């Protein structure tokens, strides 16, 4: 029962699970005393219901309506984080969390009021590297995969971002089929014609890149949800295009939100309007893991919090604290009111 109450608290509010567990334990201890004195359990339950209604009524009087300014949100975040992680780590994270929520709730062009806060638009990425205090906000995206070809550039500036969901690899037929040839020359032609179909698709991307980027300081990045085979990567690398394959579906949805443009399911009739833009795309390699950073985006309606830490334990601890802090900030903005902390409400309700 206590576990389910804590889970419900976490799902709805995102914070205060420890308080919940302590309260339930104490209420059960009091109830046990009353049952020992011969009070019927139904009477105790009715008493708890009355107490709940009375507490909710008192809460409406006790809460303080406040404009959710940056200073207030920083205090709320500090309150939430400092109970879970060390102050040396919690205090710098407060700024990161408030900036992240402000980033995704800012009105778009032509809109006057803030948008609904969808915390799924904040990606929480982790990287086992350096110290926990190195965690930071990326106003853009961090992809936990990189290019898969040694000749691909590892860093580009002023990049058009082409977000694709198109297979750029040679696929064998699913039906049983066979080639018949009478000379080695014919066999080569048959293989080349099969390969040509994929090469033509890649060539269309290269042609678009040349049309938009030749003679300028612009560059080109392809992020594809499906595969890009080695010969296709070779063609892209020759033209200085970063090609990222098998990107996660959620990244495919968030790239157009952060960088602009659209996610394309076909490479026919591509135009400049279909492309996103980022001022900086670079790759960072740690051991066997590759991370691609897309920064300097024009309309960051999606952002990433990059958690760093020396080991899995500290990363998990920071991640949990960040989740709770984000929920606390979101609730403050949506409710437009706060109550004094440090158990002030609980003592006032008791009085």
How much is the average pLDDT of 119-130?
Answer: 78
Q: What is the pLDDT of residue 173?
A: 66
Cβ–Cβ < 8 Å for 97, 332: no
Residues whose CB falls within 8 Å of the CB of residue 245, separated by 6 or more in sequence, listed in order: 148, 168, 224, 226, 227, 228, 233
Give 83's DSSP letter: T
Q: What is the pLDDT of residue 49?
A: 93
What are 187-244's pLDDT values in tens digits? 788 777 777 888 888 888 888 888 888 878 888 888 888 888 888 888 888 888 888 8
Q: State the chain's mean pLDDT as an integer.
A: 82
Q: What is the pLDDT of residue 111?
A: 67
What are 159-188's pLDDT values in tens digits? 888 888 888 877 766 677 777 778 888 878
Cβ–Cβ < 8 Å for 77, 15: no
Pick the CATH number of 154-169+183-281 from 3.40.50.300, 3.10.20.30, 3.30.460.10, 3.50.7.10: 3.50.7.10
Which CATH architecture does the domain made up of 70-139+305-335 adopt?
Answer: 2-Layer Sandwich (3.30)
Cβ–Cβ < 8 Å for 348, 116: no
Q: What is the pLDDT of residue 42?
A: 92
Cβ–Cβ < 8 Å for 187, 290: no
How much is the average pLDDT of 130-136?
Answer: 75
Q: What pTM was computed for the model?
A: 0.73
How much is the average pLDDT of 37-61?
Answer: 91
Among 274, 328, 225, 228, residue whose Cα is nearest residue 14:
328
- The CA-based angle 18-22-28, given to 5 degrees, is 145
What are 281-318's pLDDT values in tens digits? 888 777 677 778 888 777 677 788 888 888 888 888 88
Q: What is the pLDDT of residue 78?
A: 87
Range(s) within the chain of domains with CATH label 3.50.7.10: 154-169+183-281
Q: What confidence tier does 29 reach under pLDDT thresholds 50, 70, 90?
A: very high
What are 100-116's pLDDT values in tens digits? 888 878 776 666 666 77
Print burial letters for 308-345: b (CB count within 10 Å at least 16), e (below 16): bbeeeebbebbbebbbbbbbbbbbbbeeeebeeeeeeb
Range(s) within the chain of domains with CATH label 3.30.260.10: 70-139+305-335
């Amino acid at each position: 029962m206590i576990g389910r109450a804590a889970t419900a608290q976490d799902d709805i509010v995102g914070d205060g699970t420890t308080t919940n567990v302590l309260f339930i334990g104490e209420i059960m201890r009091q109830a046990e005393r009353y049952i020992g004195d011969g009070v019927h359990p139904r009477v105790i339950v009715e008493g708890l219901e009355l107490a709940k209604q009375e507490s909710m009524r008192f809460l409406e009087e006790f809460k303080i309506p406040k404009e959710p300014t940056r200073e207030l949100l920083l205090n709320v975040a500090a309150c939430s984080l400092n109970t879970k992680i060390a102050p040396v780590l919690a205090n710098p994270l407060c700024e990161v969390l408030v900036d992240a929520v402000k980033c995704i709730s800012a009105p778009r062009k032509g809109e006057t009021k803030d948008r609904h806060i969808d915390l799924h638009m904040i990606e929480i990425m982790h990287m086992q590297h350096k110290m926990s205090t190195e965690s930071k906000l990326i106003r853009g995206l961090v992809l936990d995969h990189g290019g898969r070809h040694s000749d691909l550039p590892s860093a580009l500036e002023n990049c058009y971002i082409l977000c694709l969901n198109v297979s750029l690899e040679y696929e064998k037929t699913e039906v049983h089929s066979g080639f018949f040839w009478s000379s080695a020359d014919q066999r080569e032609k048959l293989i080349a014609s099969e390969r040509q179909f994929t090469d033509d698709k890649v060539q269309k991307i290269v042609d678009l890149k040349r049309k938009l980027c030749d003679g300028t300081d612009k560059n080109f990045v392809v992020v594809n949800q499906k595969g890009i085979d080695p010969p296709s990567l070779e063609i892209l690398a020759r033209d200085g295009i970063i090609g990222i394959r098998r990107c996660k579906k959620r990244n495919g949805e968030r790239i157009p939100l952060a960088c602009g443009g659209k996610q394309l399911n076909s490479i026919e009739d591509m135009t400049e309007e279909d492309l996103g833009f980022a001022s900086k795309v670079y790759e960072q390699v740690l051991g066997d893991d590759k991370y691609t950073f897309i920064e300097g985006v024009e309309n960051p309606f999606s952002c990433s919090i990059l958690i760093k830490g020396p080991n899995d334990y500290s990363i998990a601890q920071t991640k949990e604290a960040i989740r709770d802090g984000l929920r606390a900030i979101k609730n403050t903005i949506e409710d437009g009111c706060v109550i004094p902390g440090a158990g002030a409400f609980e003592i006032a309700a008791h009085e």
